[in-house]
């Protein structure tokens, strides 16, 4: 076995690989960018080398520099993880030239599968069913739109070199084709350095089912069954599970065999994933092959009891497949939820900032957490904003869902927006519970997943104010007493809490003994009685209307995060004098939702626009984000131009 490997990646996947290397007694070398100097993958590797500044193209994508580190440290093999250089055939061949094993397939296999167009051509030859479409070389708009008509709308335009859900456009009507093509090509060029696209039939309400395959250098292949990754937003996976619900043994075998055909066609070595799209009629078509370890590989590990990174290392080291097809079995059911620093309420915009507080469930035989961050780390704008993968296992699907729901209820983050509550809501939808999976699930369950009610209930405000009182009572709140709230002479305390779209003044009345007994909220005239309360470090329980309510509250300076049966709330405890500032809010200015680059300004000063019109397009985290008009109006000023790098909350457009 290798004595030393280098991991050309960061975050949870680098940590994941280091774990297996340690188990096998392999020394590990980490590389990192300046912003990752204290990252977990750096701390857990045996050696670590800084390779440049934050932006990936100045660090994690520097092939020669990484190979130089590998050589100078006596590394025998490089594991590329996923993303970054994992599907870069040039990197694989550079490794080979340097006499270092690339832990993955051959450069040739990566190249062939790296282009969705070429891969489709290859599969056609191998006799694997394809989604109908055009995957040829002619890239003229005229030809592509003619092909789209032939295929029949709706169609998808996909960047051939795309990945991670980027560079995909759904086009429903012929008249929208040209502008979608243009935008897709631009995103493809920016994100993948290649504007080549393919057009294919859009399968309505499909399922995404993929097969894990492995090949060794002796020409043996196995499939480690399938994963259902249908629950997606923006063509990106959010929840994955294995096995795929409702797949019969016969279909499973057909899928497995088709996946192996795909792998064989490129003499595949190591771990790969063949993705299929399932129509509602149960037909499946080849979509693409990912020539690397997949983000969601843990669900396969949970149901097979295997360590896929160990398999990768053994195969790269020249061993044969550890097990043959007949020795592989499925046990129980596993689900993975990707916990992202992103805000489901604002179209899943990534959220950047420090993980001020983070609470995670305990790991057990049923619960696994793969993460690369700890409390205090920062989600930076440079990389994927995934905080952790939460993986559960149980003997069947419904028990696994319960495990996941319980684990999510113990996962709390203060500092960045996140999707934890949203994930839990997905589990609770009828479609998910009934395993009626499709890539449309999130859209169909919109009303439940994106609740309109975005203002805290009196129960939440009771809990929030009792928390402040308790913190103060513990003697920690002297400064807060002066700043954040005021104790009135008649034993009343006034607070102002401010969430993203709400602000509440709350008056807490105390008994003669100084114990909270009721609150009044500035928007109504009621008294909400608190009959009993308990406080215990960061937990608050109160009795109201003969019911006990309880919450976990995390705090940092004036920021608060409160989680209770009444939802998860993030808000600030306002300095009372801040109330003045709230009045001069900038309703007429559209601000950058995140740091990024302005790639298109579609409006001019004086122009009339309608609600929903795209005013400008920003690019951030390799994706385009359209800034649209919040209502009908007139453009008063454009405060940015194409090419500008803008900070989060920078004013972009003044709008009346």
Residue 551 in tokens = 């919450």
Residue nearest to ligand ADP (CB): 163
Q: Taking a C-beta distance cutoff of 8 angstroms, is the pair 432, 426 a contact? A: yes
Task: Indicate the residue among 28 and 294 with the shorter CB distance to Mg ion.
Answer: 294
The closest alpha carbon to 639, from 605, 614, 608, belongs to: 605
- Interior angle at CA 261, CA 305 and CA 99, nearest 5: 75
Q: Which H/E stretch holds residue 508?
A: strand 503-510
Residue nearest to Mg ion (CB): 275
User: Of Mg ion, ligand ADP, none, which one does residue 82 interact with (CB within 5 to 8 Å by kind)?
Assistant: ligand ADP
Q: DSSP characters for 629-643? A: -SSSEEEEEE---TT
Q: Taking a C-beta distance cutoff of 8 angstroms, is the pair 213, 224 a contact? A: yes
Stretch in the footprint of ligand ADP (CB under 6 A) among 282-290, 306-314, 599-607, 640-648: 282-290
Active site residue 173: no
User: Of ligand ADP, Mg ion, none, which one does residue 237 interact with (CB within 5 to 8 Å by kind)?
Assistant: ligand ADP
Rule CB under 6 A: say whether 624 interacts with ligand ADP.
Answer: no
User: Of Mg ion, ligand ADP, none, which one does residue 168 interact with (CB within 5 to 8 Å by kind)?
Assistant: ligand ADP
d(CA 620, CA 486): 42
User: Of ligand ADP, Mg ion, none, which one does residue 115 interact with (CB within 5 to 8 Å by kind)?
Assistant: none
Q: Which H/E stretch holds residue 339?
A: strand 333-340
d(CA 466, CA 446): 33
Q: Nearest approach, Cβ of 1 to Mg ion (angstroms)?
A: 31
Rule CB under 6 A: say whether 528 interacts with ligand ADP.
Answer: no
Q: Nearest approach, Cβ of 65 to ligand ADP (angstroms)?
A: 19
Whole-number Cα distances in Å, 372 to 11, 12, 369: 4, 4, 10
User: Of Mg ion, ligand ADP, none, which one does residue 164 interact with (CB within 5 to 8 Å by kind)?
Assistant: ligand ADP
Rounded to a whole number, what is the distance in angstroms from the first to the last CA of the chain?
A: 67
Active-site residue among 16, 207, 292, 368? 292
Q: Nearest approach, Cβ of 292 to ligand ADP (angstroms)?
A: 7
d(CA 159, CA 187): 8
Task: Indicate the residue among 204 and 532 with the shorter CB distance to ligand ADP.
Answer: 204
Selected from 26, 48, 107, 203, the binder of ligand ADP by CB under 6 A is 203
CB neighbours of residue 53 within 10 Å: 13
Q: Nearest approach, Cβ of 94 to ligand ADP (angstroms)?
A: 17
Task: Indicate the residue among 274 and 466 with the shorter CB distance to Mg ion.
Answer: 274
d(CA 238, CA 231): 6
Residue 394 in tokens = 């149980």
Rule CB under 6 A: say whether 372 interacts with ligand ADP.
Answer: no
Residue 280 in tokens = 């509602």
Q: Taking a C-beta distance cutoff of 8 angstroms, is the pair 488, 508 a contact? A: no
Residues in contact with ligand ADP, shown as a per-residue x/- string from 182 to 201 under the rule CB under 6 A? ----------x-------xx
Q: Nearest approach, Cβ of 11 to ligand ADP (angstroms)?
A: 9
Preceding peptide of 198 cis, ω within 30°: no
Residues 263-302 that bind Mg ion (CB under 5 A): 275
Whole-number Cα distances in Å, 653 to 67, 294, 619, 646: 45, 40, 16, 12
Selected from 104, 206, 350, 456, the binder of ligand ADP by CB under 6 A is 206
Selected from 65, 235, 483, 566, the binder of ligand ADP by CB under 6 A is 235
d(CA 116, CA 122): 10
Residues in contact with ligand ADP, shown as a per-residue x/- string from 105 to 144 under the rule CB under 6 A? --------------------------x-------------
Rule CB under 6 A: say whether 231 interacts with ligand ADP.
Answer: no
CB neighbours of residue 218 within 10 Å: 10
Question: Mind telling me the catalytic residues?
Answer: 292
Which spans of this chain sit near ligand ADP (rule: CB under 6 A)?
Answer: 82-83, 87, 131, 156, 158, 162-165, 168, 192, 200-203, 206, 208, 232, 235-237, 275, 277, 287-288, 290, 294-296, 384, 439
- In the complex, the residues that contact Mg ion under the rule CB under 5 A are 275
């Amino acid at each position: 076995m290798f004595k030393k490997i280098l991991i050309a990646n960061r975050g949870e996947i680098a940590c994941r690989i280091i774990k297996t290397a340690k188990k096998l007694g392999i020394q590990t070398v980490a590389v990192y960018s300046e912003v990752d100097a204290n990252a977990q993958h750096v701390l857990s590797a045996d050696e670590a080398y800084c390779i440049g500044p934050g932006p990936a193209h100045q660090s994690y994508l520097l092939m020669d520099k990484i190979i130089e580190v590998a050589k100078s440290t006596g590394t025998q093999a490089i594991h590329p993880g996923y993303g970054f250089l994992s599907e870069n055939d040039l990197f694989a061949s550079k490794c080979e030239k340097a006499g270092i094993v690339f832990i993955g397939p051959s450069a040739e296999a990566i190249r062939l599968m790296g282009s969705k167009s070429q891969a489709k051509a290859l599969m056609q030859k191998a006799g694997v069913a394809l989604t109908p479409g055009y995957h040829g070389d002619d890239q003229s708009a005229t030809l592509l739109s003619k092909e789209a008509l032939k295929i029949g709308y709706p169609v998808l335009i996909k960047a051939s070199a795309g990945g991670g859900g980027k560079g995909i456009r759904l086009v429903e009507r012929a008249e929208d084709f040209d502008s979608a093509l243009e935008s897709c090509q631009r995103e493809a060029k920016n994100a993948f350095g290649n504007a080549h696209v393919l057009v294919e039939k859009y399968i309505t309400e499909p399922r995404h089912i993929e097969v894990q395959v492995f090949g060794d250098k002796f020409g043996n292949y196995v499939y480690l069954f399938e994963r259902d990754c249908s629950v997606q937003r923006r063509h990106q996976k959010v929840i994955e599970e294995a096995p795929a619900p409702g797949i019969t043994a016969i279909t499973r075998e057909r899928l497995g065999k088709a996946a192996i055909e795909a792998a064989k066609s490129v003499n595949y070595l190591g771990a790969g994933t063949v993705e299929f799209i399932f129509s509602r009629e149960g037909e499946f078509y080849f979509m693409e092959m990912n020539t690397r370890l997949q983000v969601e590989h843990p669900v396969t590990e949970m149901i097979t009891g295997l360590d896929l990174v160990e398999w990768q290392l053994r195969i790269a080291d020249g061993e044969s497949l550890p097990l043959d097809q007949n020795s592989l079995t499925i046990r129980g059911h596993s689900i993975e939820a990707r916990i992202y620093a992103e805000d489901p309420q604002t179209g899943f915009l990534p959220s950047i900032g420090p993980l001020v507080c983070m609470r995670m469930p305990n790991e057990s035989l049923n619960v696994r957490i793969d993460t690369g961050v700890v409390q205090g780390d920062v989600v930076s704008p440079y990389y994927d904003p995934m905080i952790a993968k939460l993986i559960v296992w149980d003997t069947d699907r419904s028990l696994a869902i319960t495990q996941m729901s319980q684990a999510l209820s113990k996962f709390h983050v203060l500092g960045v927006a996140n999707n934890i509550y949203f994930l839990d809501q997905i589990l609770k939808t009828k479609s998910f519970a009934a395993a009626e999976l499709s890539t449309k699930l999130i859209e169909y369950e919109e009303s439940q997943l994106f609740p309109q009610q975005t203002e805290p209930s009196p129960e939440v405000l009771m809990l929030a104010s009792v928390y402040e009182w308790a913190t103060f009572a513990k003697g920690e709140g002297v400064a807060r007493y002066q700043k954040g709230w005021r104790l009135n002479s008649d034993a009343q305390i006034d607070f102002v809490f401010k969430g993203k779209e709400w602000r509440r003044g709350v008056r807490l009345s105390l008994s003669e003994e100084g114990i909270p007994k009721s609150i009044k909220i500035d928007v109504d005239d009621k008294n909400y009685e608190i009959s009993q309360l308990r406080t215990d470090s960061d937990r608050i329980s109160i009795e109201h209307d003969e019911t006990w309510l309880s919450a976990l509250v995390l705090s940092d300076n004036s920021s608060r995060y409160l989680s209770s049966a009444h939802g998860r709330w993030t808000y600030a405890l306002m300095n009372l004098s801040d109330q003045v500032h709230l009045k001069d809010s900038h309703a007429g200015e559209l601000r950058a939702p995140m740091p990024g680059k302005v790639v298109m300004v579609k409006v001019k000063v004086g122009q009339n626009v309608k609600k929903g019109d795209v005013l400008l397009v920003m690019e951030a985290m390799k994706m385009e984000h359209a800034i649209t008009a919040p209502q009908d109006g007139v453009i008063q000023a454009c405060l940015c131009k194409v090419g500008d790098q803008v900070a989060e909350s920078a004013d972009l457009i003044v709008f009346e």
